Amino acid sequence: MNEPNNTASRPSDLKITDMRIVRLKGVPMRSCNLIRLDTNQGIYGLGEIRDGASVVYALQLKRKIIGENPCNVDKVFRLIKQFGGHARQGGGVCGVEMALMDLAGKAYGVPAYHLVGGKFRDKVRIYCDTDSTQDPDEMGDRLKKRMESGFTFLKMDIGIRLLKGVDGAVSAPAGMLETNDVMHPFTGIQITDKGCDWLVDYVETVRNKIGYEIPLASDHFGHIGIESCIRLGKKLDRFNLAWYEDMVPWQFTDQYVRLTNACDTPICTGEDIYLKEGFRDLVENRAVAVIHPDLATSGGITETKKIGDYAEEHGIAMALHMAATPVAQMASVHCAAATNNFVALECHAVDYPEWNNVVTGLPNPIIQNGYIDVPEAPGLGIDLNEEVVRAHIDPDYPGYFEPTPEWDGEHVNDRLWS
């Protein structure tokens, strides 16, 4: 049994005894892995590896954390953070950090947000991405329904995928529109004036449907070069969008500076960046107005709180990217509650009622009138609904948190200094 606050032994005597994994597949969770850290006191902590990341990213960390006290979150994180990386490579470290925070909160009987300084808000604003359609009237109707259900922040995709079948809208070398493996500056894909004007008309129709009172962010422009981004961005500026997201790869700080200087709309990126150091160039060069870390990539709750505080010192806001089960979603809620310059947190599962049933301990639906209440129960404030989780186990990886003894004896010389 997972007791919220086991007083049979002091938190200082708590030890991690095992790491176990369950892999889930399909809506409403996409493909992802949940982590469970077991302890010598019968309490456990839950974390999540973001979609698309391998369980190996987490299991390779087991040898570093077994026997450690999970309440020493910073110490344990420093033991494992070198084994993470940008994008999906950070999934294991981040999932373990979530589980550490869940465990530490349960051990001390406090919500996870208390472990990073307390909260600035009782409710966390949610924005929901909304499936695209090439019909702008239908897109406006979809967003209008979001508003009617209580959402006060919206997002939609604007980009070359909408231009499929529009003659003369895009210019591209053969094969480049069909691949996702070439970075934006090297594809040679350009939006023509006709393509820009088509997208301007599209956004104008949507704005006429939903008005201007509600923030509307934009994403998924396609693998286009910086010049096309600037051309399109200037034309869309008049629609007062909340931000342009991930127009170019995050690594190209100088291109983000060009984009920021050329456009009047806030520029946003960050979902693939690992650790505070990864954000340094963008923040120090004021290359963006909004950072957008994904807690399941950026380093977990504590590191993402540090990233937000760092951005705040430079006058930059923080939104949170998130496409996951309620485990990582609630870890993000605790981080958002504890970060002063937070704007809004993403959720990709609004249209899938079953998503709400993955965990217990929360209202159902979890999102109420466009917000998630910050839990006051210890740790992340949730437990798993075992029946629902078992129903979504990936059939290629059967088993519900089976032991992983094959990872106990993996030892290598991985010290970074001599």
Contact 95, 48 (CB under 8 A): yes
Q: Are 393 and 370 in the same domain? A: no
Same domain for 74 and 132, yes or no, is no
Do both 349 and 254 map to the same domain? yes
Q: Does residue 50 belong to any structural domain of this protein?
A: yes
Buried b (16+ CB within 10 A) or exposed e, 150-189: ebbbbbbbbbbebbeeeeebbebeeeebeeeeeebeebeb
Q: Average model confidence (pLDDT) for the chain? A: 94
259 is a domain residue:
yes
What average pLDDT does this structure show over 242-270?
98
The CA distance from 82 to 93, in Å, is: 9
- Predicted local distance difference test score (pLDDT) of residue 410: 74
Domain annotation covers residue 416:
no
User: What are 264-301's pLDDT values in tens digits?
Assistant: 999 999 999 999 999 999 999 999 999 999 999 999 99
Residue 339: CATH number of its domain: 3.20.20.120
- What pLDDT was estimated at residue 218? 97
| 135 in the same domain as 40 | no
pLDDT, position 9:
55
Rounded CA separation 36/130 (Å): 31
Domain that holds residue 272: 115-379
Same domain, 237 and 339: yes
| CATH number, domain containing residue 89 | 3.30.390.10
Does one domain contain both 94 and 126? Answer: no
Percent of the chain scoring above 90 in pLDDT: 89
- Domains in the chain: how many in total? 2
Residue 50: the pLDDT is 86
The residue written with tokens 């396609």 in the block is 222
Same domain for 95 and 184, yes or no, is: no
pLDDT of amino acid 27: 66
Average the pLDDT over 140-160 and give the result.
97
Domain co-membership, 76 together with 158 = no
Q: What is the pLDDT of residue 411?
A: 74
92 and 20 in one domain?
Answer: yes
Residue 415 located in a structural domain = no
- pLDDT tens, 30-72? 778 999 999 999 999 999 998 888 889 999 999 999 999 999 9
Tokens linked to 24: 């889930």
Model confidence pLDDT, tens digit, residues 327-359: 999 999 999 999 999 999 999 999 999 999 999
- Flag whether pLDDT at 409 surpasses 90: no
Are the C-beta atoms of residues 118 and 338 closer than 8 Å to each other?
A: yes
| Confidence at 26, pLDDT banded by 50, 70, 90 | confident
